[in-house]
């Protein structure tokens, strides 16, 4: 002990010394803002940093990243689809959490094949031109079972998230495996990985030695990209000193997680980050590694449409722009695509859908917020002076109600003004002016129109800005992007419809300027070398053409907000910042100058209806194709704007009407029968446990102690009857939304939420006083807790803390012999392809009733909705067809319709994959996503539903198969995930 303590302090001292050496002499804020020296970790020069931003390959960038979890979309073909959508929304980053438990069902066993083939996730990002942040924990939180730890860690004696030999060995085992992939995919090896996170929000019960151990392991394994750490908030944990990463940052969820009151926005914006950053890690860029992009929703919660209302596009405007005003230049939106916590992935508080109200919905659909994020990201990637600013306090005539932050580029005269209501919640419409100082003079803007903030809005105004061959004096409309189109320049600006806008550029000669437009609201005035346009933001987009002003003509496209949302700027050449501009489509995935015909741009994308488009093309481009087909274009005017129509051809989508299907039924809880043979079950005879849950007298009845970690569990207790016995006293311990059902000698005793129940009214007809009795307990579990506070909470038991007979006196031996049963094979998975979170311990699951090809011909015929009440567990099987033609995306779902009075739960198996846990009594989820790749969208599928009655009997309601939406789409081809049927089941 002494020796270990001594070693600990030595290694801490070494770490401290190293850190002291590594920290450069602190420059003043001003010197730092101007300096062009790069921060580096000494391991690579490909990713460096300074006080402003990251530099990748020497190039400064705003890292606009989104969180995506490959395990929440168990169909690798769709990872490419999602990464293409990120890119289309102008993201240049994605953050991947790697989920230890997903790859490791058993100590020493690791799987990176099939749906676990993370190389495909790296490739999907790289192919779409997206940088990757790796976050391999080992602890990741993320509303996952055990917060991402493997279930087998339940049985570790030592604490997790701490430095100790046992945990070191376990963590090293994981990191050795995952690091192989992460190191090979670093930018230094030509891959997309640019940053690597150590641990996750390690902000309670911290241990610097553990952090140092993780850092050393990553480094020893060859991770050379800068390390990052996400503090739970701007609290300074591991900002400096032992455990500190290369670039410290924090997380922030200002809207909270109560979606039932979506407009409440409980927390105002943070205005102290700038100072905190300056005090804490001013040499590094300001980073928010998780910023709220949606919210999770608990069992019984209001549902994701409400979370989407809470974290909507207005929230994105107000809170994200505030981040930029504070100085954030690395921003990861958690989640940008949430996906599905299928099977046993989720921790207890959350249900199957992890839609998260995110920018991209669970079935991969676009939202207004996604489009808003695109408007912001394109601005941040286009307007480079925004990357190197220092703060100043501007003057405004309404500083009482409007908060304006000034950001001045340190290299050019360009300045930015971020305007928002002082109260994020304000619904007021307020007018205001800002005093600006430019190289062209000082003004109070707007000079002759109104600048408005209408309720929950925020704006970034740009002044004194050289772009292409133009010089912008100021614009009260926000910039989306601008382009050099060859003979002329193009800029797209926007604000809400009906708001006035003012846009002023420098001109060479007042007398030579010509302004052409069809928009009657536009007024122009040229004085002292400045052309000022005033206009009303239209419904749609108005072109204004300025000639004779600068070296080149300028096309100003003034868009109303709805129209702006549908402007896309896919790169033609990202290195050169060359983009095509196209308005109208639901989604534009890519644009490329055709290889054979340099006068054609090939667009790919998706439409949801016949769509009129406007395209602005560089000189020399005369034609476009859309998903390979030529589009008839009309040259609207000489301004390089072309119009055309993308025709939506109604597809012939077919899918089985499940309400008319023939189903098969079989009863599935023979374990309740006292004569059931449980001789092969494990005897629960442990007398001690590593769980954190205290237990009463008798053997340990925690399933994890016997190697069963997921889904439903059975416990069977056998005891001899006697006249003394008056009842039982049982306490179930499991997570939120769990339930348990008790049977004695085959008779239903009751179904309960977790907690204690004493059965004291047992009569002689139930108990066999002379002979053997069997009590059967079915526990519906909802996963393990996480370890947010690093106190081993993930080790809470799943089972019974108390299970004793009442009335028995003078017992010498424990009177009940307990057996426990869970998923087939326990940690030695029967189905490694679908993996450790797919199956639980129901009889039907153990016997492969959920698998394609299971011979159900001797099952009873049934109809759904079920016409009969069924006791215990019931299984229903059918097959169904889906036919979605190529060139379309129609994400499919299965929806339950029932009144919520009856207490039952279901497991939804599609082609053997557990795609949903449903709680009829709790909700809120009724619709379940069936991802293409698991779902055969051009052929037959097998559906199996296991129904667990918590009440004495249950009657399954309606089950409906339907698409969420139908898109004519360039979705990449998705291969069916290769997964075994019943014939391959090892029994």
Closer to ligand GAL by CB, 289 or 320: give it: 289
Closer to ligand GAL by CB, 143 or 362: give it: 143
CB of 140 to ligand GAL, least distance (A): 6
Residues 7 to 26 in contact with ligand GAL, rule: CB under 6 A: none
Q: At what angle do helices 165-184 and 208-221 cross, to 10 degrees?
A: 40
CB of 341 to ligand GAL, least distance (A): 11
Residues 283 to 302 in contact with ligand GAL, rule: CB under 6 A: 290, 296
What is the rounded CA–CA span in Å between residue 969 and residue 729? 59
Of these, 143, 231, 362, 499, which contacts ligand GAL (CB under 6 A)?
Answer: 143
How many alpha carbons lie under 13 Å from residue 31 in its C-beta half-sphere? 4
Reduced to 3 states (helix: H, G, I; strand: E, B; else coil), residue 336 is: strand
What is the rounded CA–CA span in Å between residue 35 and residue 385? 15
Of these, 90, 177, 209, 251, which contacts ligand GAL (CB under 6 A)?
Answer: 251
CB of 382 to ligand GAL, least distance (A): 30
Report the residue closest to ligand GAL, judged by CB: 141
What is the rounded CA–CA span in Å between residue 140 and residue 789? 12
CB of 16 to ligand GAL, least distance (A): 27
CB of 63 to ligand GAL, least distance (A): 18
314 is an interface residue for ligand GAL by CB under 6 A:
no
Closer to ligand GAL by CB, 111 or 199: give it: 199
Closer to ligand GAL by CB, 340 or 463: give it: 340
CB of 785 to ligand GAL, least distance (A): 12
CB of 347 to ligand GAL, least distance (A): 9
Closer to ligand GAL by CB, 141 or 672: give it: 141
Closer to ligand GAL by CB, 292 or 906: give it: 292
What is the rounded CA–CA span in Å between residue 187 and residue 552? 39
What is the rounded CA–CA span in Å between residue 90 and residue 376? 9
DSSP at 852:
T
Burial letters 917-930, b for 16+ CB under 10 A, else e: bbbbbbbbbbbbbb
Of these, 141, 183, 536, 911, which contacts ligand GAL (CB under 6 A)?
Answer: 141
CB of 171 to ligand GAL, least distance (A): 18
CB of 290 to ligand GAL, least distance (A): 5
Closer to ligand GAL by CB, 300 or 529: give it: 300
Residue 201 is a catalytic residue? yes
Contacts with ligand GAL, 921-940, as mask; x by CB under 6 A? --------------------
CA-CA distances (angstroms) from residue 470 to 464, 490, 504, 555? 10, 10, 11, 11
What is the rounded CA–CA span in Å between residue 799 and residue 715? 8
95 is an interface residue for ligand GAL by CB under 6 A:
no
Q: Is 970 left (phi over 0), alpha (psi -120 to 50) or beta?
A: alpha
Let me know the angle formed at the C-alpha of 922 by 916 and 923, rounded to the nearest 5 degrees. Answer: 50
What is the rounded CA–CA span in Å between residue 712 and residue 714? 7
What is the rounded CA–CA span in Å between residue 446 and residue 444? 6
Question: Given the structure tokens 């376990």, which residue do they identify?
Answer: 170
Residues 672 to 711 in contact with ligand GAL, rule: CB under 6 A: none
Total number of residues that touch ligand GAL (CB under 6 A): 10
Among 136-144, 304-312, 620-628, 650-658, which window interacts with ligand GAL (CB under 6 A)?
A: 136-144
What is the rounded CA–CA span in Å between residue 654 and residue 917? 26
Contacts with ligand GAL, 332-361, as mask; x by CB under 6 A? --x---------------------------
Question: Which is catalytic among the residues 67, 143, 177, 201?
Answer: 201
What is the rounded CA–CA span in Å between residue 275 and residue 775? 63
Closer to ligand GAL by CB, 342 or 743: give it: 342
CB of 121 to ligand GAL, least distance (A): 18
Give the residue from 191, 187, 181, 231 showing the smallest Cα distance to 43. Answer: 187
Contacts with ligand GAL, 145-184, as mask; x by CB under 6 A? ----------------------------------------
φ, ψ at 215 (rounded to 5°): -60, -45
Helix/strand/coil percent split, the chain, to 5: 20, 35, 45
Closer to ligand GAL by CB, 90 or 201: give it: 201
CB 533 within 8 A of CB 523: yes
What is the rounded CA–CA span in Å between residue 35 and residue 52? 10
What is the rounded CA–CA span in Å between residue 546 and residue 910? 59
Strand bridging mode 578-579 / 611-616:
unpaired
Residues 629 to 668 in contact with ligand GAL, rule: CB under 6 A: none
CB of 76 to ligand GAL, least distance (A): 23
CB 503 within 8 A of CB 495: no
Let me know the angle formed at the C-alpha of 500 by 497 and 504, rounded to the nearest 5 degrees. Answer: 125
Closer to ligand GAL by CB, 338 or 584: give it: 338
Closer to ligand GAL by CB, 202 or 875: give it: 202
φ, ψ at 57 (rounded to 5°): 55, 40
Among 134-142, 359-367, 592-600, 650-658, which window interacts with ligand GAL (CB under 6 A)?
A: 134-142
Give the residue from 718, 871, 909, 910 showing the smallest Cα distance to 805. Answer: 718
Burial letters 727-760, b for 16+ CB under 10 A, else e: bbebbbbbbbbbbbbbbbbbebbebbebeebebe
Closer to ligand GAL by CB, 189 or 789: give it: 789
Question: Which is catalytic among the residues 143, 199, 212, 290?
Answer: 290
Write out the DSSP string of 578-641.
Answer: EE-EEES-SEEEEEEE-SS-TTEEEEEEEBSS-EEEEEE--TT--EEEETTEEE--EE-STTSE
Residue 770 is a catalytic residue? no
What is the rounded CA–CA span in Å between residue 605 and residue 366? 12
Among 137-145, 465-473, 497-505, 908-916, which window interacts with ligand GAL (CB under 6 A)?
A: 137-145
Of these, 65, 134, 142, 237, which contacts ligand GAL (CB under 6 A)?
Answer: 142
Among 140-148, 432-440, 612-620, 744-752, which window interacts with ligand GAL (CB under 6 A)?
A: 140-148
Among 87-95, 138-146, 372-380, 541-549, which window interacts with ligand GAL (CB under 6 A)?
A: 138-146
Among 135-143, 422-430, 625-633, 835-843, which window interacts with ligand GAL (CB under 6 A)?
A: 135-143
CB of 713 to ligand GAL, least distance (A): 26
Closer to ligand GAL by CB, 293 or 651: give it: 293
CB of 358 to ligand GAL, least distance (A): 11
200 is an interface residue for ligand GAL by CB under 6 A:
yes
Give the residue from 572, 537, 533 showing the smallest Cα distance to 555. Answer: 533
Binding site for ligand GAL (CB under 6 A): 140-143, 200-201, 251, 290, 296, 334
What is the set of active-site residues?
201, 290
């Amino acid at each position: 002990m002494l020796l270990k303590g001594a070693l600990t302090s030595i290694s801490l001292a070494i770490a401290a010394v190293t850190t002291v050496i590594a920290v450069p002499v602190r420059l003043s804020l001003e010197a730092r803002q101007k300096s062009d020296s790069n921060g580096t970790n000494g391991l690579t020069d490909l990713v460096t940093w300074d006080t402003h931003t990251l530099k990748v390959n020497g190039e400064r960038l705003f890292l606009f990243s989104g969180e995506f979890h490959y395990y929440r979309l168990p169909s690798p073909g769709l990872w490419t689809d999602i990464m293409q959508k990120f890119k289309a929304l102008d993201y240049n980053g994605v953050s991947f959490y790697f989920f230890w438990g997903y790859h490791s069902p058993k100590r020493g066993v690791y799987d990176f094949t099939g749906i676990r083939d993370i190389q495909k996730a790296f490739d999907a990002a790289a192919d779409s031109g997206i940088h990757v942040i790796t976050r391999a924990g080992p602890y990741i939180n993320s509303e996952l079972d055990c917060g991402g730890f493997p279930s087998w860690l339940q049985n570790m004696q030592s604490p997790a998230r701490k430095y100790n030999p046992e945990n070191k060995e376990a963590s090293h085992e994981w990191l050795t495996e995952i690091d192989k992939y992460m190191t090979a995919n670093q930018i230094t090896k030509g891959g997309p990985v640019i940053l690597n996170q150590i641990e996750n929000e390690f902000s309670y019960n911290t241990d610097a030695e553990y952090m140092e151990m993780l850092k050393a392991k990553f480094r020893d394994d060859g991770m050379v990209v800068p390390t990052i750490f996400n503090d739970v908030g701007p609290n300074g944990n591991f900002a400096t000193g032992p455990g500190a990463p290369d670039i410290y940052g924090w997380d922030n969820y200002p809207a909270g997680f109560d979606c039932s009151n979506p407009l409440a926005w409980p927390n105002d914006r943070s205005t102290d980050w700038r100072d905190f950053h300056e005090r804490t890690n001013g040499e590094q860029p300001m980073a928010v590694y998780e910023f709220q992009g949606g919210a999770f929703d608990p069992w019984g919660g209001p549902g994701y449409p409400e979370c989407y209302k809470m974290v909507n596009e207005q929230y994105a405007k107000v809170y994200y722009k505030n981040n930029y005003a504070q100085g954030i230049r690395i921003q990861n939106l958690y989640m940008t695509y949430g996906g599905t916590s299928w099977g046993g992935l989720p921790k207890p508080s959350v249900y199957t859908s992890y839609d998260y109200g995110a920018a991209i919905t669970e079935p991969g659909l676009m939202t207004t917020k996604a489009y808003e994020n695109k408007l912001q990201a394109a601005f941040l990637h286009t307007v480079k002076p925004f990357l190197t600013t220092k703060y100043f306090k501007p003057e405004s005539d309404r500083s009482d109600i409007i908060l304006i932050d000034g950001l001045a580029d340190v290299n050019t005269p360009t300045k930015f003004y971020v305007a928002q209501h002082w109260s994020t919640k304000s619904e007021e419409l307020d007018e205001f002016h800002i005093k600006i100082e430019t190289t062209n003079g000082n003004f109070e803007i707007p000079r002759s129109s109104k600048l408005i903030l209408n309720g929950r809005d925020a704006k970034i105004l740009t002044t004194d800005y050289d772009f292409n061959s133009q010089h912008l004096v100021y614009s009260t409309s926000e910039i989306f992007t601008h382009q050099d189109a060859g003979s002329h320049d193009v800029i797209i600006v926007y604000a809400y419809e009906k708001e006035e806008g003012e846009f002023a550029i420098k001109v060479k000669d007042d007398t030579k300027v010509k302004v052409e437009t069809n928009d009657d609201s536009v007024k122009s005035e040229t004085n002292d070398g400045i052309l000022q346009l005033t206009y009303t933001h239209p419904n749609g987009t108005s072109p204004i053409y300025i000639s004779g002003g600068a070296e080149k003509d300028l096309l100003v496209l003034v868009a109303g907000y709805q129209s702006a949302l549908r402007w896309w700027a896919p790169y033609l050449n990202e290195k050169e910042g060359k983009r095509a501009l196209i308005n109208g489509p639901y989604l534009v995935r890519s644009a490329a100058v055709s290889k054979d015909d340099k006068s054609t741009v090939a667009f790919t994308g998706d439409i949801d209806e016949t769509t009129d488009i406007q395209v602005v093309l560089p000189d020399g481009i005369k034609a476009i194709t859309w998903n390979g087909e030529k589009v008839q274009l009309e040259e609207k005017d000489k301004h390089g704007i072309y119009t055309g129509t993308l025709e939506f051809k109604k597809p012939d989508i077919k899918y089985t009407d499940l309400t008319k299907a023939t189903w098969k039924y079989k009863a599935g809880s023979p374990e309740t029968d006292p004569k059931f043979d449980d001789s092969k079950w494990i005897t629960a005879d442990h007398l001690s446990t590593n769980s954190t849950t205290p237990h009463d007298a008798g053997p340990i009845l925690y399933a994890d102690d016997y190697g069963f970690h997921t889904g439903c569990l059975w416990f069977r207790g056998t005891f001899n009857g006697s006249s003394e016995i008056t009842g039982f006293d049982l306490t179930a311990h499991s997570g939120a939304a769990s339930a348990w059902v008790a049977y004695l000698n085959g008779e239903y005793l009751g179904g309960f939420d977790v907690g204690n129940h004493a059965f004291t009214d047992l009569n002689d007809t139930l108990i066999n006083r002379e002979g053997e009795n069997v009590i059967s307990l079915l526990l519906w579990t909802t996963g393990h807790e996480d370890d947010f506070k690093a106190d081993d909470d993930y080790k809470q038991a799943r089972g019974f803390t108390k299970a004793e007979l009442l009335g028995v006196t003078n017992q010498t031996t424990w009177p009940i012999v307990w057996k426990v049963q869970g998923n087939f094979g326990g940690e030695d998975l029967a189905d490694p392809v679908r993996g450790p979170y797919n199956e639980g311990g129901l009889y039907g699951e153990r016997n492969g009733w959920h698998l394609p090809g299971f011979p159900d011909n001797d099952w009873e015929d049934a109809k759904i909705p079920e016409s009969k009440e069924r006791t215990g567990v019931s299984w229903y099987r059918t097959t169904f067809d889906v036919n979605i033609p190529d060139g379309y995306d129609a994400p499919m779902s299965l929806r339950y319709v029932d009144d919520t009075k009856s207490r039952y739960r279901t497991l939804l198996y599609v082609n053997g994959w557990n795609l949903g846990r449903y709680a009829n009594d709790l909700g809120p989820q009724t619709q379940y996503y069936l991802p293409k790749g698991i779902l055969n969208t051009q052929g037959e599928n097998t559906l199996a539903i296991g129904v667990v009655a918590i009440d004495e009997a249950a009657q399954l309601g309606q089950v409906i198969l339907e698409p969420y939406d139908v898109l004519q789409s360039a979705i990449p081809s998705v291969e069916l995930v290769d997964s075994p049927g019943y014939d391959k089941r090892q029994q």
